[in-house]
Structure 1
C-alpha cells in the first residue's frame, strides 16, 4: 500500500537553478528507502518537498491519500517526522523537554507557547526515550550530550510525534563511523518493528547497501536508479552514474565510498 505518491514533481529556485527535474515515485508503507547521491544531487530538496519545507514548482505530492497543500500542511506534518543532520535540538533545554516538543503538533497554539504538556505526553516521551536507550539522560541538558546521543534524542522527539513517516536528511553525516551504523540500525529497527515508514538521504554507498530495502539514486536532480541494495551493489556502472558530475568526472568521494561498501 502506497504512503507517498510523487507525481511529476519538480523544483526550480528563483535564481534559475533546477534542483529537481520532474520526478514520479511511489513509496510504500513500512518501507525503508534510502535516497542516495553526492552532495548537491537533490536529495535534501526532495525530502524538504515531502515535508512541505519547500513548495514544488510543478506536480503534486500525496501523503496518506491527501494532497500536500498549504491548507492541510499542519495536519499532514503531524504524520511526518523529520530528522536533521544537525539534530536541531534546543541545547539549553533538557532532553525530556526536547522530546516533548514532538507532541506540539497535537497541542493548541497556546499550549505550545508555554510548553504545557499533559501526563499522557510525558508517558509517550518516556517511552520514546526508552526506545532509543536514553532514559537515564532524560533530565540532562541536551547540549551536554555527545553527537550520537543528540541524534538519538532527535529520533526520540520524532517518535513522540507518533508519525506514519520519518524523513531523515543526512542523519549520520556529522557522526563517526561506529555511531553512523548505530543510528542507521536504530532507524531500520523503528521501520521494521514499529511499522514506521523511513525515507533517509545518504551519500554513503556502504550504509545504503547495508540498511536499505530500496535505494533511489539521484544525480543532478534526476532519478538514475530505483531498485534493491543487491541490484546496486553488483552494478558499478550504475554507481558511477549516480556519482558522475556534469563535467563527466566522478565525485571525489566515489572511490572511497566504493572501497567502504566492499569492505
Structure 2
C-alpha cells in the first residue's frame, strides 16, 4: 500500500493565480480520502499534481517515499490510476480495447500505438470488467454506453493498470444521484478489498460523508479542514469550506 506526501507544495499558474497555497499533507495507504470544496477551490489542481499533469511551483511530492520528478514520471504514473469527470474513453473503440489501454504503461510505445496486447493483458482486462459487472458489454462501442456504464469502463481501465493509488477527479459530477452512489460504492469496495489508496475530489457533502474515511476541506487553495467525516457535522465548518450562498444551496438539497 502506498502513501502520498505533499511537502511545502504550492501551485501558481503563469497568469499569477495561486491555485494551491503552501500545503503539507500525508494521504494514508489504503484510505478513501475525499477532497471537498466548491468549484475553483483547487481540488483538481491538487489531484493533477499527484500524477504529474500539473507541476508544483514549490515543494515536493512523494509517492511511496519516492520523489515525483520528470525522470521517474512514467514509473510513478504506472502506479497511479486516474478517473476523470468526463470518463476520457475513446468512443469509437469497444469496451475491451478501452480497458486494455490501462496496460499501456507496461507495453512498448509502438505496441500501444497499434493496440498490441498480450494474453495476460486480455486476462487482466476480463478480470477488471468482471469487477465492474460489465462482461456483457465487452465488444460494444464505448459511445453506445450510458454515462454510468462509461464510468465503470473507466474504472475497469484503471483496475487493469493494477495501480497502488486511484485518483478520481469529480468522478460523479456528470452522473445522476443513483448512479453516483453506485460508482462511489464501487470505488469504496475496491479501496477496502484491494487495499488501494483512493483520493477523490467531490463537491457533494452528503456523498463525502457517506463514503470517505477522511475528508480534506479546501478553500481558495488552502486546506482548512482535515479530519474524520463525523467532525464535519457543523454548519460553521461547512460555511467556512463553502461560500455562504453555496452552503445554503447544499443545505436545501
Q: Which residue pairs with 1:258 in the alignment?
A: 251
Distance 1:2 1:231, change over 3 A: farther
Q: Which runs of 5+ in 1 are unaligned?
A: 245-249
Higher relative contact order, chain-length normalized (CA < 8 Å, sep 6+): 2
1:62 aligns with 2:92: no
Q: Which residue pairs with 2:73 in the alignment?
A: 73
> Deviation of residue 255 (structure 1)?
2.2
Aligned residues: 253
> Deviation of residue 236 (structure 1)?
1.4
Structure 2: how far apart are the matches of 1:32 and 1:257?
A: 22
Question: Could you list the runs of 4 or more consecutive aligned residues of structure 1 that deviate by over 3 angstroms after TM superposition?
Answer: none
> Secondary structure of the residue that 2:92 maps to in structure 1?
coil
Q: Which runs of 5+ in 2 are unaligned?
A: none
Q: Which residue pairs with 2:153 in the alignment?
A: 153
After superposition, give the CA deviation of every residue in 1:136-173 in whole Å (9 maximum; x if it has no partner): 00100000000000000000000000000000000000
> Deviation of residue 101 (structure 1)?
0.1
Structure 2: how far apart are the matches of 1:3 and 1:136?
A: 35
Counting only pairs closer than 5 Å after superposition, residues 230-249 of structure 1 correspond to structure 2 as: 230-233=230-233, 235-244=234-243
1:102 aligns with 2:95: no
Normalised by the size of structure 1, how large is the TM-score?
0.94
Structure 1: how far apart are the matches of 2:9 and 2:245?
A: 26
> Deviation of residue 112 (structure 1)?
1.1
> Deviation of residue 70 (structure 1)?
0.2
Normalised by the size of structure 2, how large is the TM-score?
0.98
> Deviation of residue 65 (structure 1)?
1.3
Superposition CA RMSD, Å: 1.0
After superposition, give the CA deviation of every residue in 1:31-72 in whole Å (9 maximum; x if it has no partner): 000000000000000001111001100000000111000000
Distance 1:162 1:2, change over 3 A: closer
Q: Which residue pairs with 1:217 in the alignment?
A: 217
Q: Which residue pairs with 1:131 in the alignment?
A: 131
Structure 1: how far apart are the matches of 2:251 and 2:30?
A: 28
Alpha carbons 2:125, 2:156 under 8 Å: kept: yes
Q: Which residue pairs with 1:164 in the alignment?
A: 164
Structure 2: how far apart are the matches of 1:217 and 1:27?
A: 14
After superposition, give the CA deviation of every residue in 1:158-195 in whole Å (9 maximum; x if it has no partner): 00000000000000000000001110100000000111
